[in-house]
Chain A
Amino acid sequence: MSTLPLIAGLGLEAIIAWRPDGPRRVRDFLADVDALADRLPAGTALLNLCHDRYRFAAGFAAGLVGGKISLQPASQSAETLARIRADFPDVACLTDGEFDTFDLPRCDFPDLAAADPGSVTAIPRIPADRLAAVLFTSGSTGLPQPQRKTWGKLVANGRAEAAALGLDRAPHTLVATVPVQHSYGFESSFLLALHGGCAFWSGRPFYPQDIAAALEAVPPPRLLVTTPFHLSTLLAAGIDLPAIDHVLCATAPLSAALAAETEARTGAPLTEIYGSTESGQLASRRTTAGPAWTLLPGVQLEQDADATVACEGHVEGRVALSDVIELLPDRRFLLHGRHADVVNIAGKRTSLAYLNHQIAAVPGVVDAAFFLPEDEAGGGVTRLTAFVVAPTLSTGQLLAALRRRIDAIFLPRPPIFVDALPRNGTGKLPRSALQALYAEKTRHAAR
């Protein structure tokens, strides 16, 4: 049976994490993992809700060693948790803060002060084919879709990313503004540490001043793992930043202008990552060097009729991608935007079909269509709008009803009330007609 270590590229005495109270060696981490493994509830699945990256990592590792699957949903709504419980009846939550786990059994992250680092003699090895994690994506119906990841594939993803970023030769300390449970943060702050020889900051800085303080708290060289939105607010805040040696960006398209400004302000190269929860990370590019992406080591893309399929390497099976892709020679490709129905707001993904289904179900709505305007600002977050025929509803009533049905991030900002939608002879709504309506309505609003 093939096995892979929990951690590679770091010895027992190396530092794997920095917390506000100082560094943790691999030896300390493994002692915490051992102590925690004894305290976790029985069962085959762990919903690890820890906000603290170090506690998440210890919980994940303790579960993995004990054969538990880490469940990582995109949201923690009551509906999602109910679905998880239906699929994994013996699931328990591991938490380190205020969180309503509804009626799921919970285990508060215990005090591990008694853990004995001196007793740790080796880094554990885990079967490569063990199911380690299930990440969830929101399907077009809104029901979470499970994406199963074996330990072998996760390790390969971490190694491929480390190689693409050059971290396997020059490790950095990772400071991430993204949650560790979601795919990008999971890959780029957790797997990249365990299998890229890097240490990570335990917190998740939010405000620009938090990001500066977190960077200050860890030794250089430093890699900032972030998103276009966090990056644009960080630069706009205009505060002094500690030295940054590399910036990593993903979850949404990054404008060439913001990439150039980031490099000018920090003096650090900016690498963008392309991937999806289904496929894992697939490619990277230095955004200022041009639009083409280069595949990570091992993975392949194939054109299959209309779709592009990712496979091989650390990709689980064959994954049809939701982007329009033009393959180039030498493992490079161009992205030409998403298939029309998929929308991504600040890294959260859904489909227009799902949103339209939800708004149509609101009592009083006669007809409605969500619409994602062209991104004019670049760097900022483009919000959805919706055209609504609902003569009896006020904006407040409509939004209150929608808030119960969809994630707040997808609420129309603002909804635009109209007398009728520009449906064509077959009842369809061409995007060009919606674009024209949007231009007309926003021009009126600007007057």
Chain B
Amino acid sequence: MSEAIPQHTVDALLPEVARLIVEALNLEMAPEDIEPDAPLFGDGLGLDSIDVLEIALVISKHYGFQLRSDNADNVRIFASLRALTAYIASQRTK
């Protein structure tokens, strides 16, 4: 999946995805303060499963595709902002 997406496409999309996350989750931080390679769970942003569903909803509205749990890449998709952005770039329909 993400291998097929050029790096510059992902880099260009990062700020937009960061902004969607900050808005969706009402995080008290600037989008550019999300470290692209830091984990979204645990000691990174510390997201929980409610946050994941909130993000999934925003992604489906904004980019026109649905996330599925039976996707083997699921753990990787939410590993970091960069991983999530690469996945969006590979799946988006709008």
Contacts and interface: CB of A to CB of B under 8 A. Distances in A.
Interface string B25-64: 1111100000000000001001111101110110011000
A210 interface: yes
> How many residues of A sit at the interface, in one of the four size bands?
20 to 34
A403 B43 contact: yes
Interface stretch (A8-16, A125-133, A407-415): A407-415
Interface in A407-432: 408-409, 411, 413-415
10 contacts: A206-B69, A207-B56, A208-B56, A208-B57, A209-B68, A346-B50, A395-B29, A403-B46, A413-B26, A413-B28
Nearest to B68: A209
Given A233-B53, A233-B57, A411-B46, 6 more contacts: A383-B26, A399-B46, A408-B48, A414-B27, A414-B28, A415-B28
A314 interface: no
Contacts of A206: 49, 52-53, 69
Interface of A: 205-210, 213, 229-230, 233, 236-237, 239, 346, 381, 383, 395, 399-400, 403, 408-409, 411, 413-415
B64 to A, nearest CB: 11
A393 to B, nearest CB: 13
Contacts, number: 59
B39 to A, nearest CB: 13
A207 B67 contact: yes
A230 B52 CA distance: 12
Contacts of A399: 46
A427 to B, nearest CB: 28
B66 interface: yes
Given A237-B57, A411-B46, A210 B28 contact: no
Contacts of A236: 57, 61
